[in-house]
Amino acid sequence: MEENSLESRVSKLEWSLDKQSEEINHLSETTDRLKKSLYGIERTLIQIRWFAMGGIALYIADQFGLTKVLQLLG
């Protein structure tokens, strides 16, 4: 009787271990997808930052009259 109980407990532990391994694999895949998504978001934010800095630089150049100088040169 004890052997059957021990075998049952080992089977449950093996099943639990398999389930946990599946969950770890799933979490690893999710982590990889999230890393890719965050990288894409980071690249977009960098582009937005440079666009905003360019707009600010253009505004400052316009305030100092540098755009008129560029129009005369062009």
Complete DSSP assignment for the chain: -HHHHHHHHHHHHHHHHHHHHHHHHHHHHHHHHHHHHHHHHHHHHHHHHHHHHHHHHHHHHHHTTHHHHHHHH-
> Which residue, chain included where needed, has tokens 């707009």?
55
pLDDT, one tens digit per residue, over 9-67 is 999 999 999 999 999 999 999 999 999 999 999 999 999 999 999 999 988 888 888 77
CA angle, 45 as apex, 44 and 50 as ends, to 5°? 100
| Domain span at 42 | 2-73
Count of domains observed in the chain: 1
- Quick check: pTM over 0.75? no
